Amino acid sequence: MESISSPHTIHIPARAQHPVASFVPPVTDPETLRALARTAIEAATQAGAHYADIRVGEQRHFFCTSDFSAQLTITYGYGLRVAVDGATAFIGGTDPAPERLVRAARAAVATARGLAKISRPNIGLDTSRLPAVAPMPEVTGEWHGPVEIDPFSVSPDDHLYAIAGFDKLGEMFRGPVSFGGVSVTWTAETRVFASSEGSMITQHLARVLPTVSLSGFSQDPSVSNRERMMPRMLSILPAATAGFECVLGTTVRERVIQAMHDMVPWTTYKTAPVEVGRKELVLDGAAFGALIGATVIPALALDRVLGEEQDVSGTSFLAPPVSVVGQPLFSPSLNVSVATGGTHYDRRQWDDEGIIPRTFPVIDRGAVVDYFASRATISATREWSAPHASSVQPQGVFRANVASEVPRPMPGACAVASVAAGPSSLFELAGAVKDGVIVRGGDVVPDQQGAGGVILNPLVFEVRAGKITRRLLNAQLEFSTKALLKNITAIGGPSTVEATTNWLYAGVPVTVLQQAVTAPAVHIQNGNVTSAALRLS
């Protein structure tokens, strides 16, 4: 295979009527990727690796927006992990030529051999006796993601017209709400995984990451134009495993119009400066999902729990497991699980260790019952026991955004359970609030343990005696994760569920994983409402 520059980016003009794939350089066929994988594994074992695995892939991204702009990026890469004398090393690159893979394998083995002389960090657990990578049976096969219409078989022209149609809906709407536009990133990848155990699998992965936004405008004439704007991100098109079919049809357009109508009542309230203090809270599904995704989900990653990320992404407030698993840390109404199958984001038949992903709970009735583990950390779960803990098996949550990045134990999608007969709207949840606020959306900034943080830039509405009275300016929410989740008193029904996408950072060099979280609205008895104006001053 010849050396290929990576990434390779093409700016595509509008009115391009050929399929997107016609703009892509010749696609590397799966057999070539498999041959490259075999070359690397053989070189690693010959150099002395006790275990080796590799991911080799070709990935295409097509980004387009409703303002008629488009960009195509093609990335090639490999990520090689080896284990020697109980230590592991990883080398990734963007030029998967055979001779480079051989050099990388030898370098990785030499690095792991040197690291074996250094003790592994740990927090509360003795990991010195654990194998570097837990053994697993070999797996073979090929899998295609559930895509009805390959987005790369559609012309850029059709892509742009499809999403520009959303803007037309906004222009047709009459009222204090404007449509902010749509952007969509389509990802297609052929990725091969191979290991020294004999595994060889090929996956054709697909993801769509859309952004849909609208803005309401306060009808209070006493505030500035900046304060009038009420931005809102929509979950009408959630991040998913899907093809071009997800932007077609009347159902999506009906949801857009309905969302704009639903936004209108929120623009009618008078505004006032925030009054800081402890108050009852109603978090909408977007705010609650973002909070769970930024705090609890990363804290359940076993590499953080074991301290292996302590100088990078952080540690975990849910450590050590021997003191956490099975304990009633949160409200008994809180249930969080890993979601797989269907069109869940980043769906795949096998994770980046050749394990079939499974659905399992991580929080059951307010208690932590499981963590996210890889084959390098799964053995550590034998250091604790609890009646609620799952069997000690790899869960299929080890994944990398691109083949050249270090994989991390983190699922692609998680879900907070709603209540079948729970309140059906934010207004119904607010009906039980005596003195509090409704928090809609916002950006969650956690601390390095996930033990607390702040929700910045939310839309906040005051509630008195069950009635929404006004919108509060410069309001934000500071929180302690355990205390906040302990004080959940009600969870909304399915109609309050919203989807959010979180970006999680880890490792050296820094890698980024996208994760989707769906969550209902919740009522929380006690929260700390503060002022962004005070923070900025």
Q: What percent of the chain has pLDDT over 70?
A: 92
Arithmetic mean of pLDDT, 362-384: 84
Candidates 374, 413, 371; CA nearest to 388 is 371
Q: How confident is the model at residue 265 (pLDDT cuts 50, 70, 90)?
A: very high
The rounded distance, in Å, linking the Cα atoms of 401 and 404 is 9
Pairing mode, strands 87-93 and 271-273: unpaired
Residue 131, pLDDT score: 55
Q: What angle do CA 509, 510, 512 make, to 5 degrees?
A: 140
Residue 241, pLDDT score: 94
Arithmetic mean of pLDDT, 470-493: 95
Residue 161, pLDDT score: 85
Residue 23, pLDDT score: 78
Arithmetic mean of pLDDT, 417-437: 92
Candidates 498, 485, 478; CA nearest to 418 is 498
Q: How is residue 198 written in tokens?
A: 């004999």
| pLDDT beyond 90 at 255 | no
**DSSP class per residue in 123-150:** SSS--TTS-SS------EEEEE---SS-
Q: How confident is the model at residue 537 (pLDDT cuts 50, 70, 90)?
A: very low
Length of the chain: 537
Write the pLDDT tens digit of every residue in 78-125: 999 999 988 889 999 988 889 999 999 999 999 999 988 775 544 444
Residue 121, pLDDT score: 46
Residue intervals of the chain classified under CATH 3.30.2290.10 are: 8-265
Which of the residue ranges 17-26, 379-388, 495-504 would you say has the lowest mean pLDDT?
379-388
Is residue 308 within 8 Å of 462, Cβ to Cβ? no
Residue 129, pLDDT score: 44
Measured CA to CA in angstroms, residue 156 lies from 2, 48, 63 at distances of 29, 49, 10
Query: Distance between the two ends of the chain, CA-based, in angstroms?
Result: 58
Residue 101, pLDDT score: 95
Residue 181, pLDDT score: 80
Arithmetic mean of pLDDT, 349-363: 94
| Mean pLDDT of all residues belonging to the chain | 88
The CATH H-level (homologous superfamily) assignment of domain 8-265 is PmbA/TldD superfamily (3.30.2290.10)
Higher pLDDT, 502 or 18: 502
Residue 46, pLDDT score: 97
Higher pLDDT, 198 or 120: 198
Q: How confident is the model at residue 357 (pLDDT cuts 50, 70, 90)?
A: very high
Name the β-bridge partners of 215: 178, 231
Which of the residue ranges 84-88, 335-339, 390-394, 446-450 would you say has the lowest mean pLDDT?
390-394
Q: How confident is the model at residue 382 (pLDDT cuts 50, 70, 90)?
A: low
